[in-house]
Structure 1
Amino acid sequence: MADEAVHFYSQQFAQEELIGDENLLSLLPVLIDQDRNDLLCQMPSVDEVKKAVFNLSGASASGPDGFPGVFYQTCWYIISLDVYKMVVAFFQGHTLPKSVTHTNLVLLPKKELIQSYSDLRPISLSNFINKVMSRVVHDRLEIVLPQLIYINQAEGESLKRIMKILQEYEAISGQLINKGKSAFYMHDKISGALSQQVEQITGFKRDQFPLTYLGCPIFHLRRKKGYYNDLIKKVKNKLQNWKGKLLSFGGKAVLINSVLQSIPIYMLSTVVPTKYTINELHKIFARFYWSTKEEGKSRHWSFWDKICLPKEEGGLGFRSLNDVSMALFAKLWWKFRTSNTLWSAFMWNKYCKKKKPTEVQWKSGSQVWKRMLEARDQVDHQIWWEPKNGLCDVWEDNWTKLGPLKQVIPPDFQIDTSIEEVSHFMNANGWDAQKLHTKLPSNVSDHILQQLSIVEHSEEKDKSWWMASTTGDFTVGSAWNMLRRKAQTADNFSKLWHKGVPFKISFFLWRLWKFKLPVDDVLKRINISIVSRCRCCLNSQQEEIIQYLFLIGEFAAEIWQHYNAAVGIVVPRIQIHQKIVQWWYMQAPTKLKAVMQAAPAFVCWQLWKKRNTIMHGGKMNKLKIIHGINYNLQQLVKTLYPWLR
């Protein structure tokens, strides 16, 4: 099978002798002048190479040499000179060794049923250093790209001429158009005669909306939930691989955070799925986490929205896809406002025209633009425009770090609408204090003069900074943290999760804290009828309640007394929450503080194990419980202080 794969792709990537007229190349216009061409070809600087290294994702998959991007970024101060010399050698035309250019081909299925190698898509896993060289070239081309591409470059050309040019290109390059996989799309109201004419000229068939392009549905009518069935199916197929495996809650949490919630990210960054789609994905995640079966009823011990909160706010650290979607569209708004690209120019001309982007309102049309405007209302004030040439808007843009002045200035203050640009308040020496005091409230003008550095009017464009991050660079994580649904932070929630304590024990303590355990009194509160009796006290007729099972019961009281005496705690019987908090805030040496705070989790965990063992026919005694708690404490000490023997 391996030999057949090598043979197939060797033929596919082999270059055949080309026979054709290259005169077509003379028709290509010269769009790059000599100065820009020299800029593209000049030797890169160390700073340029460093920028390329750190602009690449450090978490991307490593190539054949095994060194991921995070290695280059972390060890840059050691390897920078070697990396720089290698990039310079590439620009000088040196032949790079195979150890650098070697690439792994990974085959990804294009469809569910694989019948030939044509049904597999090869992707290259290159060495990171190769990506650095490509990134340097990419960053340079990004500067001149707007001169090479025009929005209306095909306007006025007949379809027949386009097809003729494509045929000549096929003859010269050897790259053939697969008409069997090609199609054209037209609006539903286009006449059938025009459609047939296009089909005859191109040889392509007409297809119907919606279509899937690069994994995203494209349509021109109202959204339908059926358009996103492939996304839901992809998530369910991933679950099939884990079906039947005995996964702990900790294992499920890792899979949800690392795998399941990452599947929709690409689509969420480009389109707006229906509410049904998002809710269905949340149901799939919740069922996978709380239940061992795919269908039928199952007990979800907490609503998904409530556990999609950080741990310090009482959640489990999952992320709601609604919050993620809004953060990703905040990224689109950031790019729209701060980048000079073909896409941003198109969006500006289509939706803003002569209006300011901060004032435009959505009326109809693209759901993507509507979602971007929703993100704008929440994040635009976080974009700080550092004055350079002073072309940013005085009243609409945040150039003072206080927010847009139209929102900061009191309603009764008279705004001079004739002033539009910040450059009005700038002169050759910096800020014009007189104009600032005349046209702005005193508190605002004083803030500008005292807090904003002296600026000199220059030709450089106003620089954009993202105020929600410490570096000033936009990150989806900082946008998510700003936009997400929040709950009240409590120090007690943070202490449920101790470093070095296994997830299963911390998660158990979280459930105990929130009374989300399948104990008899909890089951009764959710209308599950059961004959209740505490399993830990065999001679007792006491009903099983959380307080009795974990604190005041005869067996539990003996265990707590054993450890209370060891640390000198003398208190009357209290609630289980109070007992745990008492251990958390007990005075102890710094190095023992973490151990003391984790002790109540281990005590409750061993009591819970005893209860379950007896419930299923086993036996447990006091010595076994104490041994289990001591073992947990010993393992924690080894984790926190590995140098201790």
Structure 2
Amino acid sequence: MVTKDAVGAAGGLLTGWDGNRWAVLDSRVGVFSVSVLLRCKSSNWTWICSNVYGPADGVGRDLLWLELSELKAAWQAPWCILGDFNITRFATERNRGGRVSAPMRNFSDWISEEALLDLPLVNQEFTWSNLREVPALARLDRIFICPEWEEHFPGCEMIGLPRTTSDHSPIMLVSKPPGRNKHIFRFESWWLECEGFETLIRQSWNSGAGILRGARCIAFKLRRLKQCLKRWGRLERLRRTEEKSKCEIRIAEIDRLEESQHLRVDEIELTEEKEIQDSLVHHFKSAFRKHKRWKPEWMDEDLKQLRDEDLAALEGRFSETEIKGALFSADGDKAPGPDGFGLRFFQTHWGIVKEDVLQMFDDLYEGRQKLGCINASMIVLLPKKEGAATVGDYRPICLLNGVYMLVAKVLARRLKMVSKYLIEEHQTAFIPGRNLQEGFAITQEVVSSCFLDGRKGVLLKLDFSKAYDHIDGIFSLSAPTVESIKGFHFILQCFELLSGLHINIAKSSLIPINIEEEEAGMLAAALGCPVQRLPTRHLGMPLVRNKVKSGDWNSLTERMERRLDGWKGRLLSSGGRLTLLQAVVSSMPIFFLSTFRMPVGVEQRLESIRRRFLWSGANKEVSKPHLVKWEFVCLPKTMGGLGVRKLKEMNLALLSKWTWQWMAKPDSLWVRLFRERYSLAAGSHLPWLFTKSSCLCKGWFTGMEQFVRACVWDAGDGGDILFWTDRWCGEEAFESRFPQMFHISSDPEGRACRYWERRAQSGAWRIQFVRQPTPSEATQASELVRILAGAPLASGIPDKVCWGRTSREGYTVRRGYLWWRRLAPHSQEMVTHRGIIWDSAVPLKVKFFVWLVCHGRILTKAYVSKWCPNISTVCVLCNANTETVDHLFRECSMARELWERLGSLCHIRLTWASLDEFWSASRRMANQGDRRMEAKVRRLVVPAGLWAIWLTRNAVVFRGQRFYRENLWEATEGFIRDWGRYIVGTTCIELHRGGAP
């Protein structure tokens, strides 16, 4: 064993091992850690074990991170770190919450830089307690492993053990190989690219099904096709390369990190797979069992009724257009049901299966057949939180068979058309044209207005128990009393009987507003629930008194950090990192960014996480520099960037929807509520903001005057258009076109209708000024009158606000983002070569590389010598000049020879200086119908040449290979063939005979 003595209040460290299995090659005792380099006696596998006791001060923590990083650089082996780090990563790792401090951010940054996997604690939330009556709890003890360590010990989990005498819970690392599940058939998308697959499907489907028809015929053909594809799939898998198989094994190992091997039922820990399966089956059988109890009958006199034409549309016969529209509007790549055939199969083979599907819908309409033969599904459990341990910690997802999913999709689309007529406007979610954020906004505004106006009230946060899940609902009561609370409780009991939902009062809470503790306790006792204070969470977002603080964004920061962990960046190519980065930005923060104005500190932190992830690389020893400024990375591709959306402008684009809806949808529920609270200022399209305005209102409308001026109005009666400042007659507002006339106007903030004098058959414009116009002003006035002569107002027609040049265009977040991005600093256009980079059918990592080349930001020897001055900077291809970007890809004799050879094949003079000319020629060829395929292949030439030069150079520099000029040509030719196969569907792309590729 290796030990480190205790120092003062800090405990000591002891690391021990089984000498029969492990041999110690080296050991180190640092200031805060004890590390041993171990070798397995049976397999000679070597790894590092570091035992840590972290300091409690910031300076000591920085020394700890440095100490561990130096250890890893010295020993270069798979690594496992465990111990008491005396710090948490996220605010949720303390029961009392709090803010994310700089040391916590530094901790997360170090984990990401070292590409470590932070193992979740599967059976409890915290590992430390101060052992008081109202304890402070935290997760201070952790285990980190690197991906190479996890490859050797798959299925790693960290388990908390019962606390004995210490204030810390012991932790244990368990490596449990996953159980072997029976292979389940799934229709694979990659099969569609295999030669002869279409013929196989057609032969199997058209083999006949006897007297079966409709749903029974489809079920029979799918079963027969499944057996056929199983045999064919086994043969096809044998042809896959060993490298691809290894990649799939690695992906499966990563997926297993998210799986749980434990389930706690009635405080009993189940670990055997059979026990867990039986327990889950029993749970869901009980949950879905029909319970008999008395339910009152509805009195439907006041319920909404559909019109006759809507009822006819609901009950009409199914048409081919309707069925096909529902099929192709769905996401075909969603997980399939038990038969293994998702909607992608029916989309890609619609011409083959169409007749049987149409017959099934006819039988369904006529009532000739039930759908029991295709109505099979299975339940998949997704964890709601990290460390899920009980059934309630999982969210069940039902996977339907593809053909049954199509039936449900068709029926749902019919109901979707009439749902807005049946459901009250107070239901803001899951209805076309309504927004979930509107419901949260109304709730937040009610809370803020009560606090700001000093009104008493309570919020009741109720827990509704469904058969297999829980949902939260917020109800507001003004001026509550014990009697009103009891009356509301009676209403809830009636609601339970009518809906079948169960309200769990013990898990519900009462949130007082401007009410003393004693009175709040009496009200909560009347309902039978505990008292809770703001802030709380509603619909996944923080519900606060008045202002959303930086700490309320901690949950979003934590989720993004976990999603963009550094170890994932080391396993992905540059194209993979770019894809994951764009996917995370597109989905994860949208709900927050659509509702709240993001604080500057939060924006900087999130951008730092994204920036670090993009530039992390596969090299485990070297931290890659950020080659291009983040401002330029976030430019649109048309302006020379990567198209990564910047969070600040994305936030503004999403918040602009509220301003847009304020002007375009004045009858919306939230607009009416806000107009009632905030009177509309004279001559303004925005609410009148004052000191007591809520955080939502200030966040939405502050600084949006520029956005309002960018909107275009389609004139009707002129009641909503500001005559001088709105864009409604021409490309510019009259304020900008006629500034002198604007300054002498008698009503510079007047509506257009005030300047229109209505007459019997038509009308005329009458503009009044505070004084008589001068001769120069009179010229402008005449021009204004001439323009207005062609823009009369129409009585009885409301004005319509538009976003764009035509009245048909409305506001979209995508166009709004581009508009805000052009207003931002550093938005100037860079060198693009857009067609060469983004319009060619090459892998995304190659596009990323070509983008770096076009901007001259490649890690050449000349670039690396800035911080490594002792390395040689001579080009390894020609051994003559300094290796810069221009030399390597343009001036080097080997590169010039390659470009000349490729140019002769394409019948064009191809040099680095003429890349734009080459692309223009290829684009012109694309417009020629008989040479369109040839043009697509020609677009591969430049990326293939650049990529071949770089890989050949790397092989010489890093692997010591000798350079032969024919190797460079063969590499280029191979890339063109491989990439061109996906364009022309064959590898027969001739390059040797002098013809165009």
Please name the residue that 2:492 is paired with. 166
Please name the residue that 2:729 is paired with. 400
1:135 aligned onto 2:416 = yes
Q: What one-letter code is carried by the residue in structure 2 that aligns with 1:514?
A: H
1:51–1:295 distance in 2 versus 1, CA, 3 Å? farther
RMSD: 4.8
Query: SS at the partner of 1:217?
Result: strand
2:672 to 345, 359, 364: 345
2:892 to 525, 528, 553: 553
Please name the residue that 1:502 is paired with. 843
Query: SS at the partner of 1:283?
Result: helix
1:210 deviates by 2.0
1:332–1:103 distance in 2 versus 1, CA, 3 Å? farther
Q: Is the 8 A contact 2:875 2:881 kept in 1?
A: no
1:212 deviates by 1.8
Please name the residue that 1:516 is paired with. 857
1:465 aligned onto 2:807 = no
CA separation in 2, counterparts of 1:347 and 1:421?
A: 25
CA separation in 2, counterparts of 1:544 and 1:379?
A: 48
Question: How do 1:520-539 residues align onto structure 2 when only pairs under 5 Å count?
Answer: 520-525=861-866, 527-537=867-877
Q: What one-letter code is carried by the residue in structure 1 that aligns with 2:886?
A: Q
CA separation in 2, counterparts of 1:102 and 1:338?
A: 45
CA separation in 2, counterparts of 1:105 and 1:468?
A: 49
1:58–1:270 distance in 2 versus 1, CA, 3 Å? farther
Please name the residue that 1:624 is paired with. 967
1:407 deviates by 5.4
Deviates more, 1:395-404 or 1:495-504: 395-404
Q: Is the 8 A contact 2:877 2:953 kept in 1?
A: no
1:556–1:89 distance in 2 versus 1, CA, 3 Å? closer
CA separation in 2, counterparts of 1:249 and 1:355?
A: 53
1:19 to 286, 289, 294: 294
1:308 deviates by 0.9
Q: Is the 8 A contact 1:308 1:315 kept in 2?
A: yes
CA separation in 2, counterparts of 1:384 and 1:350?
A: 27
Please name the residue that 1:614 is paired with. 956
Please name the residue that 2:705 is paired with. 377
Deviates more, 1:166-175 or 1:99-108: 99-108
1:123 deviates by 5.2
Q: Is the 8 A contact 2:876 2:956 kept in 1?
A: yes
CA separation in 2, counterparts of 1:531 and 1:461?
A: 72
Q: Deviations over 1:102-121 (max 9, x none)?
A: 77755443322222222223
1:101 deviates by 8.3
1:191 deviates by 1.9
Q: Is the 8 A contact 2:542 2:548 kept in 1?
A: no
Q: Is the 8 A contact 1:185 1:206 kept in 2?
A: yes
1:259 deviates by 3.5
Q: Is the 8 A contact 1:536 1:610 kept in 2?
A: no
**Unaligned ranges ≥5, structure 2:** 1-275, 400-404, 428-438, 447-475, 770-779, 926-930, 990-997
Q: What one-letter code is carried by the residue in structure 2 that aligns with 1:119?
A: D
1:10 deviates by 4.2
CA separation in 2, counterparts of 1:588 and 1:144?
A: 51
1:44–1:569 distance in 2 versus 1, CA, 3 Å? closer
Please name the residue that 1:412 is paired with. 741
1:407–1:322 distance in 2 versus 1, CA, 3 Å? same
Query: SS at the partner of 2:502?
Result: coil
1:545 deviates by 2.9
Q: Deviations over 1:411-459 (max 9, x none)?
A: 4344353964538738588852x32688995545544554x6x77533x
CA separation in 2, counterparts of 1:40 and 1:15?
A: 36
1:145–1:430 distance in 2 versus 1, CA, 3 Å? farther
1:178 deviates by 1.0
CA separation in 2, counterparts of 1:379 and 1:430?
A: 37
Please name the residue that 1:578 is paired with. 913
Which is greater in Rg? 2
1:121 aligned onto 2:402 = no
Deviates more, 1:323-332 or 1:288-297: 288-297
1:430–1:315 distance in 2 versus 1, CA, 3 Å? farther
CA separation in 1, counterparts of 2:621 and 2:783?
A: 62
Please name the residue that 1:182 is paired with. 508
2:284 to 9, 17, 34: 9
Q: What one-letter code is carried by the residue in structure 2 that aligns with 1:549?
A: L
CA separation in 2, counterparts of 1:286 and 1:428?
A: 63
Please name the residue that 2:44 is paired with. none
CA separation in 2, counterparts of 1:14 and 1:468?
A: 58
1:100 deviates by 9.7
1:278 aligned onto 2:607 = no
1:477 deviates by 1.3
CA separation in 1, counterparts of 2:378 and 2:718?
A: 50
1:168 deviates by 4.1
Question: How do 1:131-280 residues align onto structure 2 when only pairs under 5 Å count?
Answer: 131-141=412-422, 158-170=484-496, 173-187=499-513, 190-220=515-545, 222-239=547-564, 243=568, 246-280=571-605
**Unaligned ranges ≥5, structure 1:** none
Q: Is the 8 A contact 1:498 1:598 kept in 2?
A: no
Query: SS at the partner of 1:348?
Result: helix
Q: Is the 8 A contact 2:831 2:855 kept in 1?
A: no
Q: Compute the TM-score of the two structures, normalised by the length of structure 1.
A: 0.78
Q: Is the 8 A contact 1:498 1:506 kept in 2?
A: no
Deviates more, 1:349-358 or 1:220-229: 349-358
CA separation in 2, counterparts of 1:155 and 1:94?
A: 56
1:507 deviates by 2.2
Deviates more, 1:312-321 or 1:230-239: 230-239
Q: Compute the TM-score of the two structures, normalised by the length of structure 2.
A: 0.53
1:581–1:171 distance in 2 versus 1, CA, 3 Å? closer
Query: SS at the partner of 2:863?
Result: helix
CA separation in 2, counterparts of 1:449 and 1:202?
A: 68
1:358 aligned onto 2:358 = no
CA separation in 2, counterparts of 1:171 and 1:71?
A: 43
Query: SS at the partner of 2:414?
Result: helix
1:389–1:156 distance in 2 versus 1, CA, 3 Å? farther
Deviates more, 1:496-505 or 1:435-444: 435-444
1:122 deviates by 3.6
Greater relative contact order (Cα < 8 A, sep 6+): 1
1:587 deviates by 9.2
CA separation in 2, counterparts of 1:98 and 1:337?
A: 50
**How many corresponding residue pairs?**
614
Please name the residue that 1:331 is paired with. 657
1:320 deviates by 0.9
CA separation in 2, counterparts of 1:443 and 1:31?
A: 59
CA separation in 2, counterparts of 1:296 and 1:559?
A: 32
1:476 aligned onto 2:804 = no
1:435 aligned onto 2:774 = no
CA separation in 2, counterparts of 1:513 and 1:630?
A: 22
Query: SS at the partner of 2:833?
Result: helix
Q: Is the 8 A contact 1:307 1:315 kept in 2?
A: yes
Q: Is the 8 A contact 1:382 1:398 kept in 2?
A: yes
1:322 to 648, 654, 679: 648
CA separation in 1, counterparts of 2:922 and 2:388?
A: 64
**Counting strand residues as a fraction of each chain, which structure ranks higher?**
2
Please name the residue that 1:386 is paired with. 714
**Counting helix residues as a fraction of each chain, which structure ranks higher?**
1
CA separation in 2, counterparts of 1:285 and 1:249?
A: 13
1:344–1:161 distance in 2 versus 1, CA, 3 Å? same
1:410–1:550 distance in 2 versus 1, CA, 3 Å? closer
